[in-house]
Amino acid sequence: MLRFLLVFTYSTWAFVSAEKGFEWAPFNDGDLNCLSSHYAFYMGTLRTPSNVPSPSDLQTLRNASARVLRVFAVIKPCYIIDCTPAEVYLSMIVQALNESGIEIKTLWLDVTERLPIYNMQANQQVITNFGNAAKKLNIEIGIRTVPDSWASFVTKNWDGMAGFPLFLAEEKSFTPFGGWTKPRIRRIGRPAWPNYPTCTCGSRSYKYKCSYDPMQVYDDGL
């Protein structure tokens, strides 16, 4: 049985207010308990070397899922046209998450790094295959990218994934591209000292270690 919190949908995203999430690993119980008291969601990464989900990444996601309100995972599949078919790849991810007892809200396809480019039409088809596979498998996926990467891979104005949520992986002001009018999530950087939140972990109350310097902070619901 799939353990995703929401089914895949083309609905317009709307939130009453923005919430903050964090990216940081590895965790111990003290770290995670403290962070989860200040953030609404965790943004993890699920690496898949040789198409096998990383056991350490699965463990981190499992730990976060046990405490944090919502858990997202960034995946970096092979986008070359002769790689594992999108449906097979996503099925493998879902099976690994279910077997590990991990509840994930959204899988984000990473399109930020230098990618193999054959031609724009072929690249568009590869990305479209992931969208079609997600719909068939009834899971929620989104696109994690920045305008320059998107333009170099599928052209800036290609809107074939505009019905999927956008994760803007940069801190710049948003300018519409790819058919998206606003991001679902955007990166807002990390808090600077001395603006780390104060919290109590166990019997200790402190500021610097409280935030554990999360690698990045994200805004949800823009």
Residue 165 C-alpha from the chain's centroid? 11
DSSP letters, 113-159, are S----S-HHHHHHHHHHHHHHHHHHT--EEEEE-HHHHHHHH-TT--
What is the separation, in whole angstroms, between the first and last Cα of the chain? 31
Contact 218, 187 (CB under 8 A): yes
Per-residue pLDDT reduced to its tens digit, 68-109: 668 899 998 877 767 889 999 999 999 999 999 998 889 999
pLDDT at residue 191 is higher than 70: no
Name 186's bridge partners.
Answer: 168, 219
Q: Are 153 and 117 in contact (CB under 8 A)?
A: yes
**Amino acid (one-letter) located at 62:** R
Q: Residues 5-10: what's their mean pLDDT?
A: 27
d(CA 162, CA 143) in angstroms, rounded, equals 9
38 or 142: which leads in pLDDT: 142
Pairing of strands 216-220, 185-189: antiparallel
How crowded is the C-beta side of 111, counted as CA atoms within 13 Å? 31
CA distances to 1, 32, 102 from 109, rounded to whole Å, are 22, 25, 18
- pLDDT, tens only, 142-188: 999 999 999 988 999 999 999 999 999 988 889 999 999 999 998 88
Structural domains present in the chain? 19-220 (3.20.20.80)
User: For 57, what's the count of Cα atoms within 13 Å in the CB-facing half-sphere?
Assistant: 20
Query: For position 151, what pLDDT does the model report?
Result: 92
CA distance 45 to 61: 8
H helix count then E strand count, the chain: 6, 10
23: confidence class by pLDDT, cuts 50, 70, 90: confident
Does the structure show a pLDDT above 50 at 5?
no
Strand partners, 111: 145
Q: Does residue 4 have a pLDDT over 80?
A: no
